[in-house]
């Protein structure tokens, strides 16, 4: 049942984002930022954790999960370091994911030889 819940919740999120992209003039970058911010807001009001327990990767894989990681990192760093935690918490919590994305995208560019659009 976990797979089914992850599939339909993740699919619903992606479908809503696709409708948002098709029906508005928002650029994909702005929609991605909106999803990250929405993940942080859902974490702040306490709704992200129950959604994640219900749908697992269906909620945490779309960019909502990245917003949750940033929020949780900042929250933990503020508890440990006070005001300075605002500036370092998000970087500390998301460093592994960002590093992996950079490394794997660089390796993919070496393998597939990207070309500029003409």
The three-point CA angle 105-8-10 to 5° equals 30
pLDDT at 118 over 70: no
Measured CA to CA, the distance from residue 103 to residue 87 in angstroms comes to 24
Question: What number is the average pLDDT over the span 25-32?
Answer: 92
- Provide the angle, in degrees to the nearest 10, between the axes of the packed helices 64-81 and 28-44: 50
Q: How far is it, in rounded angstroms, from Cα 31 to Cα 15?
A: 13
- In angstroms, the CA 2 to CA 41 distance is 24
Q: Is the pTM of this model over 0.75?
A: yes
Residues 6+ apart with CB under 8 A from 54: 5, 9
Structure token pair of residue 53: 């327990």
pLDDT digits (tens, 9 = 90+) for 86-100: 888 888 888 988 899
> Is the predicted pLDDT of residue 114 greater than 90, yes or no?
no
Residues in the chain: 118
């Amino acid at each position: 049942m976990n797979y089914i819940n992850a599939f339909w919740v993740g699919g619903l999120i992606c479908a809503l984002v696709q409708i948002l992209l098709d029906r508005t003039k928002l650029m994909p970058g702005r929609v991605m930022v909106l999803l990250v911010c929405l993940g942080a807001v859902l974490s702040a009001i306490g709704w992200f954790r129950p959604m994640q327990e219900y749908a697992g990767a269906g909620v945490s894989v779309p960019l909502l999960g990245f917003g949750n990681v940033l929020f949780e990192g900042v929250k933990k760093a503020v508890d440990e370091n006070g005001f300075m935690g605002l500036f370092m918490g998000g970087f500390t919590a998301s460093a592994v994911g960002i590093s992996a994305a950079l490394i794997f995208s660089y390796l993919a560019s070496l393998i597939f030889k990207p070309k500029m659009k003409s």
